[in-house]
Amino acid sequence: MSNKPNPGSDACQRNVYEIRIKGHLGPRWSDWFEGLAITPEDNGDSLLTGPVVDQAALHGLLRKVRDLGLPLLSIMRVDPTHENARSVR
């Protein structure tokens, strides 16, 4: 029996996250945040959105937020198959 994930299973797909931080980041920061989309919001927050390979990569992104000294407001895993439909898991 193999321990490899089934290509059609959720374990093989990347998780999509939304990371909300206090403060605006410009689009030039996207490369530093592993290609996540950066959306400045009207209330002064920034939303970083995109696929994250695994928990180690997520922790690496959170370290970068910490290193910038920007307050972390929230992290949410979103369902990439339903646009605008979010689910916390």
Q: Which of 6-10, 12-16, 51-55, 77-81 has the highest mean pLDDT?
A: 51-55
Domain enclosing residue 65, as ranges? 14-78
Domain assignment present for 84: no
Domain assignment present for 35: yes
Q: Is 55 exposed, middle or buried (0-12, 13-18, 19+ CB in 10 A)?
A: exposed
The answer to pTM > 0.85 is no
Q: What is the pLDDT of residue 83?
A: 54
Domain assignment present for 1: no
Q: What is the pLDDT of residue 86?
A: 46
Q: What is the pLDDT of residue 9?
A: 46
Domain assignment present for 65: yes
pLDDT tens for residues 27-60? Answer: 899 999 999 999 999 999 999 999 999 999 999 9
Q: How many domains does the chain have?
A: 1
Q: What is the CATH number of the domain that holds 36?
A: 3.30.70.2040
Domain assignment present for 88: no
Across residues 8-31, what is the average pLDDT?
82
Residue carrying structure tokens 């193999």: 2
